[in-house]
Amino acid sequence: MKKVSCIFIVDDDPITVFGIKKMLKSVASCEDIQIFQNGHEAHEAIKERLKEGKIIPEVIFLDINMPIMDGWGFLDELISLDIKEHITINMITSSIDPLDYKKWNGFKNRCPYVLNFKNKPIFKIVANDLGCMDIAS
Amino acid sequence: MKAVKRVDQFYLLKQLPKATALLCKKGILLDASCSWLDIFGLPPQDETTKTRVSSLYSEIPDLKRRLKENKSFSLRHKIKNTDGTRHLKSYFAPWFDEKENVIGTIIQTDDITSEVLKEQQVDWLNNILETKVEVSKTGWWEFNVQTEALTWCKETKRIHQVPDCFEPTTIEAFNFFKPGYSQNKVSMLFHKAIASNQSYNTKLMIITFNGEERWVRITGKPFVKEGKVIKVFGTIRDIHDQEIAEARVKEHQQLLSTLVDSLPLNVYVKDLESRKVLVNKGECNHLGKKVEELIGKTDFELYEEKDAQISREEDIEVMKNLTPIIGKETVSTLNGKTTHFLTSKIPHFDLEGKVCGLIGMSLDITAMKRKQEELCNLINITSMQNQKLISFAHIVSHNLRSHSANFSMLLGFLNSEKDPQERKRIIDMLTQASDNLLETLGNLNQVVDINTKTSETKKPLNLRNNIVKVLENFSALLDKDDSQIINNVEKDIEVSCIPAYLDSIILNLVSNAVKYKSPNRTLLITINAVKSNEGVLLSISDNGMGIDLDKYRDKIFGMYKTFHNRKDAKGFGLYLVKNQIEAMGGSITVQSEVDKGTTFNVYFNEES
């Protein structure tokens, strides 16, 4: 059981959010799990936390297709915040559009954080998704 | 007695009017008439003078020998003195006594200076004539009416290619002309010349002695004496080479003008001042004017100032730099009609190689241009449809995948879940996922319907009545909070539309305005319609929240794109509206400002 200080789940689909939360239960213990409907809300929350000096989420589960601000828009904003702490971001999408994969590759190169790409459906959250090297594998 | 007789005899001799002299057998001058002495410039003769005749005829060296032959002869000679040269002719005859014995020679001398001069002049004139004939290649002929003798000069014979010794008869001369027109014509003209004293000058064809057909120009002029034609004089000149060259030039001109006129091009030649000096039929047709109306005109007199100026600048460029313009696309406007041309202008040089204007050729490519535009439009439409198809395919795959992914995940949970409470939650979720999937399928079906059932017929629909009908659905909703809808659409405006689509478009746009109304303002929706030549424009404006188009312009009509945090926003209404209006050949645009309002403009295409 890995201990994580704070996790953000950014997804407008309640079923996916339910699934992620359920899977997290078995692999991580976290006091502070926050749910956001879109990138804009999550971005605002991080800015708020930075301002108030609260802890920054260690792990973010990020959907791509969302209203108002999509996953890519959120990533852009996050990178520009220039946060020093270590963050692991898992992009979760049902898209099999090769354009999305290409875009992810582009972001991976300029993103200072760990950026994973996970295609739905997800059945399990592994240690790697929580920012630990999976020593066993 | 003897002496007197002698004196008498010689005295008589002195007086003879014709210059006469007597020589003894030895060739010594015995005596002579004063006129003879005068010719030779001698003093009166007596026994003492002993003038030798050979000294007087120094030009003739064998005179002595000829005198001894005792035969008559004559010779010409000259005497030069200060007055010039005198030409003389002397007759020498033996002098007999009563017994027919030769006792000397009698000389009679005539001054023939004027005759000689005349002869020289005739020679000179003949020479001139000969030279003229040679240089001009004009032969002459002469016909004596009385003797019917025909004379040809050397050149005339040469033209007929007969030997110099050939002497033609009139019939033979006629036979040299080509049978048919030429022969008939020449006989007729010749006859008229003799019968009615008419000159002639014409061009006919002869067949020479060697069988060559050649063009000649012949003239004839009758000479009249005492009211009767006694002679016909004429000339003949070989004009075959010129005639052939001329014919060839004419042929070339004919070919060239036919070519230039029948080319599917507008051809014109301009001088250095850009005045037209030649135009072909195409150019005349294009300008709707006759050749005479165009020659000497510049473009400034034919086209609008602006077009003419461009053309003149091109002309100057071509004539100054001698670089041709090849295949440049140009546009000319004439009487409001625009024509596209592929224009070439090349410098025109005179025979000395100096530029003297330009040759222009314009190919009318208006029809091609129009086809090209149509093709471009078609390509645009096709690529747009292709784009739509690809994005629809992605939408389908994405949306269906996301549901199926949810199913897989939830079913995975269900397999391993023991807790009955949790299992119930998962099953609720599965039900929700199933509902979502059904809804998505329903939406997709609607879109597919729009794009496949384009054959559904458009009907003319009264716009105002349809709007009123749709707005009734909102009445309960609107009464609640003083919201207001102003319908400015005039009663008589009709649009050609599929009824269900028109309802859907109005319903979606109005409900959009209701959904995204500003929390701070009472909702005001204004509906306007304008009819123009292109069709009807329907505008639905609100004073609601608005949308940041800088961010979302690309996505606003996208499927499942929402921009505000509203639970009932599905991101499907505008996508549906756009598909419906485009399926009917129309279009939709949006203007919006955040916290001010939004206007949707719907263009209905009136073509069916």
Give how far the C-alpha of residue A72 lies from the chain's centroid of Cα atoms, to the nearest Å.
12
B354-379 per-position pLDDT tens digit: 999 999 999 999 999 999 999 999 99
Instruction: Give the separation between CA A86 and CA A4, rounded to whole angstroms.
Output: 12
Structural domain contains residue B252? no
Instruction: Give the separation between CA B75 and CA B92, rounded to whole angstroms.
Output: 8
Average pLDDT over residues B35-39: 86
Confidence at residue A135, expressed as pLDDT on a 0 to 100 scale: 46
pLDDT band per the 50, 70, 90 thresholds, residue B571: confident
What chain B residue is nearest to A22 in terms of C-alpha separation?
B413
- Sign of the torsion angle spanned by Cα atoms B369, B372, B376, B381: positive
Same domain, B135 and B237: yes
Contact A19 B413 (CB under 8 A): yes
Instruction: Check whether B602 has a pLDDT greater than 80.
Output: yes
Confidence at residue B168, expressed as pLDDT on a 0 to 100 scale: 92
How close is the nearest chain A Cα to the Cα of B592, in Å?
16
Selecting from B398, B563, B565 the residue whose C-beta is nearest the C-beta of A95 gives B398
Selecting from A67, A96, A121 the residue whose C-beta is nearest the C-beta of B408 gives A121
Per domain, the residue ranges of chain A are 2-130
Average pLDDT over residues B132-146: 88
Same domain, B570 and B498: yes
Cβ contact B488:B540 at 8 Å: no
Contact B561 A67 (CB under 8 A): yes
Burial code (b: 16+ CB inside 10 Å, e: under 16) for B548-580 equals: eeeebeebbbebbbbbeeeeebebbbbbbbbbb
Structural domain contains residue B74? yes
pLDDT band per the 50, 70, 90 thresholds, residue B161: very high
Mean pLDDT of chain B: 87
Structural domain contains residue B254? no
Instruction: Check whether B607 has a pLDDT greater than 70.
Output: no
Same domain, B467 and B587: yes
Structural domain contains residue B581? yes
Distance of CA B424 to CAs B409, B415, B419, Å? 15, 13, 9
Above pLDDT 70, what percent of chain B? 95
Give how far the C-alpha of residue B595 lies from the chain's centroid of Cα atoms, to the nearest Å.
68
- Biggest CA–CA distance in chain B, Å, is 209
Same domain, B479 and B511: yes
CATH of the domain at B291: 3.30.450.20
Cβ contact B169:B152 at 8 Å: no
Same domain, B279 and B315: yes
Cβ contact B275:B298 at 8 Å: yes
Contact A19 B565 (CB under 8 A): no
Domain count, chain B: 5
Confidence at residue A6, expressed as pLDDT on a 0 to 100 scale: 92
Same domain, B123 and B232: yes
| Domain boundary pick from B364, B382, B398 | B364
* Residue B432 in contact with partner chain A when CB distance is under 8 A: yes
Chain A residues within an 8 Å CB radius of B394: 95, 97
Average pLDDT over residues A100-111: 88
Contact B405 A65 (CB under 8 A): no
Cβ contact B290:B284 at 8 Å: yes
Contact A120 B563 (CB under 8 A): no
Same domain, B359 and B305: yes
pLDDT band per the 50, 70, 90 thresholds, residue B10: confident
Instruction: Check whether B608 has a pLDDT greater than 80.
Output: no
Contact B410 A15 (CB under 8 A): yes
Selecting from A14, A68, A96 the residue whose C-beta is nearest the C-beta of B397 gives A96
Average pLDDT over residues B134-159: 90
Same domain, B72 and B103: yes
> By residue range, what is the domain housing residue B390?
370-452
Confirm or reject CATH 3.40.50.2300 for domain A2-130, answering yes or no.
Answer: yes
B401-455 per-position pLDDT tens digit: 888 888 999 998 899 888 999 899 999 989 988 998 898 888 888 888 877 766 6
Confidence at residue B9, expressed as pLDDT on a 0 to 100 scale: 67
pLDDT band per the 50, 70, 90 thresholds, residue B137: confident
- The single residue listed with the structure tokens 């005045």 is B275
Same domain, B378 and B440: yes
Q: What residues of chain B, 254 to 273, have a C-beta less than 8 Å from chain A?
A: none
- Biggest CA–CA distance in chain A, Å, is 40
Instruction: Check whether B110 has a pLDDT greater than 60.
Output: yes
Selecting from A13, A22, A38 the residue whose C-beta is nearest the C-beta of B413 gives A22
pLDDT band per the 50, 70, 90 thresholds, residue B325: very high
Contact A68 B432 (CB under 8 A): no
How close is the nearest chain B Cα to the Cα of A16, in Å?
7
Confidence at residue B2, expressed as pLDDT on a 0 to 100 scale: 45
pLDDT band per the 50, 70, 90 thresholds, residue B565: low
Structural domain contains residue B256? no
| Six-digit token string for B356 | 């003297």
Selecting from B402, B561, B565 the residue whose C-beta is nearest the C-beta of A94 gives B402
Confidence at residue B28, expressed as pLDDT on a 0 to 100 scale: 86
| Domain boundary pick from B57, B86, B111 | B111
Q: What is the DSSP letter of B146?
A: T
